[in-house]
A = this chain, B = another copy of it.
Amino acid sequence: MSKYDTYFLMSSKDVAGYVQERLSFFPEKEDLECKEIGDGNLNYVFRLVSKKTGKSVIVKQAGESLRIDKTMHLPTDRGKIESSILKLQRKFSPGLVPEVFLYDPIMCALIMEDMIGHTMMRTGLINHEIYPQFAQDISTFLVNSLLFTSDVLMDHKEKKNHVKEFINPDLCEITEDLVYTEPYNDQNNRNDIYEPNLEFVKEQLYEDKKLHLEVAKLKFEFMNDAQSLLHGDLHTGSIFINKKHTFVFDPEFAFYGPMGYDIGNVIANLFFAWCNGDATIEDKNKKKEFCNWILDTIVKTVDLFNEKFKKAFIENVKDTMAKTDGFMEYYLQKSLQGTAGCAGLESIRRIAGMAKVKDITSIKDEKKRIRAERILITLGKDYIMNRESFLDGNSYKKAIEKAIAKFS
């Protein structure tokens, strides 16, 4: 009998004993130190380090409710899906996804590779770090994880078995509510809006019926279009990074959905960092350097995605009908339209919904925060309403410059 035979929510003092019991990773009597390092909404994340060798692992335990709202309950076995997904994504994008050592269905915990020397990307970006390798790495991850799990390349029966395995009703419900519904009306009491922008949000989001129609269309695409195995929550808090390398993890929202959802999330979250840099960097040159790097990275991410997508499609396409002239262009274009739509939804919901991002909430100057939020809402609407015209990096750059100019 051990205390780890029944599920309980661990604190950092429980983790060393837990890992030593479950895994032969550290020597038996190693002196281990544990810290809680999570900042997500759903899980408790611990790093366990050997004081002697510096060797370390990560333990991620699922809680029974949202950390920011204890009334929202979730199934604790979601780590099982996460562990299968990480293995699958690691197969398609070797080197860009951490290794899972163990999934434990009793404690509802994953024990996995510690991404040593990597920082959570959102933290790095708020410190205005530049990551020159990011556009290359993330575009590879996106093409590999999305195109290779679609019917273009994957055997159709194998794909359907994946669709079945990774159906994720509870976590999809969170996205359907928080991203695709609540920011557009005040019928719930969970929206958390920065007071000085309350009127702006009402006018721009609650009263715009044309916007609601486009959001409704995107919501039904999200719920129905089983195109690719999505990460499902690909913001900069799900990425660990340094100057030379990127890790994508935390795919517990994964399910088969429209690929634009992942790509759009990356684009939107990059731009949150631009807003933070623009509002908080004092040094003019440093601000210019950081903000330009962000803009360039958005442009490069979209353009490299396009380029690598076409290359992978042409080299690997399996479905007979997908080989038809013009199909690749149609399929890519449709995915890019969904990308712009989802970039817009993410830009808006982090301002007008329940779950915020630090990039924005940490802007202390009221005027600057008001401006950042208005740029994001305006830009988000442009992405959604004109999504058919966002087909390359440059179209994003232009839209961003237009939105910035409006609030200068």
Binding site for B on A (CB under 8 A): 151, 156-157, 160-161, 163-164, 167-170, 172-173, 176, 180-181, 184-185, 187, 209, 212-213, 215-217, 219-220, 223-227, 319-322, 324-327, 330-331
Whether the Cβ atoms of A322 and B220 lie closer than 8 Å is yes
Whether the Cβ atoms of A156 and B217 lie closer than 8 Å is no
* CB-CB under 8 A for A324 and B173, given A217-B330, A225-B224, A330-B217: no
Closest CB-CB distance, A80 to chain B, in whole Å? Answer: 15
* CB-CB under 8 A for A216 and B151, given A167-B164, A169-B161: no
- Chain B residues whose CB sits within 8 angstroms of the CB of A160 once the complex forms: 167-169, 172
A-B contact pairs, 19 of them (CB 8 A): A151-B224, A156-B169, A156-B176, A160-B168, A160-B172, A161-B169, A163-B163, A209-B324, A209-B325, A212-B324, A213-B324, A215-B324, A216-B322, A217-B327, A217-B330, A220-B322, A220-B331, A224-B227, A225-B225
- Of B187, B226, B321, which contacts A215 at CB under 8 A? B321
Closest CB-CB distance, A333 to chain B, in whole Å? Answer: 11
- Chain B residues whose CB sits within 8 angstroms of the CB of A321 once the complex forms: 180-181, 184, 212, 215-216, 219
- Of B157, B170, B187, B331, which contacts A320 at CB under 8 A? B187
* CB-CB under 8 A for A220 and B324, given A156-B169, A172-B160, A173-B156: no
Closest CB-CB distance, A270 to chain B, in whole Å? Answer: 27
- Chain B residues whose CB sits within 8 angstroms of the CB of A185 once the complex forms: 320
The chain B residue sitting closest to A227, CB to CB, is B224
The chain B residue sitting closest to A160, CB to CB, is B169
